[in-house]
Amino acid sequence: MKKTVLVFGANGKLGTHVVNQALDKGYKVKAFVRNPEKYTRTKGQEVEMVKGDATNITDVKHAMEGADVVVSCLGNPPKKGIYIMEKAHSNIMSAASDSSSSPRCLMISSIGIGGSSWLVKFLLQKIGGKEGFTDFENAEKRVLQQNNVSFVVVRPAGLTDKKGKGKYSLITKPTVFFPKFISRSDVARFFIDCISNTSHDGKAIMIEGI
């Protein structure tokens, strides 16, 4: 039976790659979006659209019905002062914990969090503000404390929209150097690989480009 993959942030730049790569692998995909009528990114393959708000626990629980794997590609909206990551990830983990399908959760985070790179943390706080970075930190902490849900936290290096190489490199220890930028397509590849590869479960994994 085909696995069903629920993608949060499916209409974003990263989520688009995750959806299309999951479809290419033969998975069923549920795309969680605020405005299904504006969703035009999927390349000619059928996707089940789920309308909702990730900060609304009822919407999240409804979307998670029947999901085998959850992939969060969420990020804070560009409008300043709006931070959704901690709330959204808390909802996802709570819903996964309560779900009868017991989905594995593959969750986006950022390098610089959890002591992974003081330099990146410093730069991201300067660029995006401390509040936004703190929201990401709190979101990751919420995932890591959920001990009855299988999860992988993904901390990618700086993201680009360049053509993917179909591969990536793991960073196995904290780095004082700025890691190699990685395309969103290759981050999506890591997410898709984690659907069948459970060796990273329960861990926060840093990845960079090749």
DSSP secondary structure of 121-145: HHHHHHHH-HHHHHHHHHHHHHHHT
Residue range 46-65, pLDDT digits in tens: 899 999 999 999 999 999 99
- Residue 44: the pLDDT is 59
Q: How far apart are CA 210 and CA 180, in angstroms?
A: 7
Determine whether 106 is exposed, middle or buried from the number of CB atoms within 10 Å of its CB (0-12, 13-18, 19+). buried
Angle between the N-to-C axes of helices 130-144 and 118-128, in degrees from 0 to 180, rounded to the nearest 10: 130
Residue range 57-99, pLDDT digits in tens: 999 999 999 999 999 999 998 777 899 999 999 999 999 999 9
Percent with pLDDT over 70 in the chain: 97
Q: How many residues does the chain have?
A: 210
Domains delineated in the chain: 4-208 (3.40.50.720)
Q: How far apart are CA 200 and CA 203, in angstroms?
A: 6
Task: Please give the helix or strand (H or E) that residue 36 lies within, else none.
Answer: none
Structure tokens belonging to residue 174: 């904290």
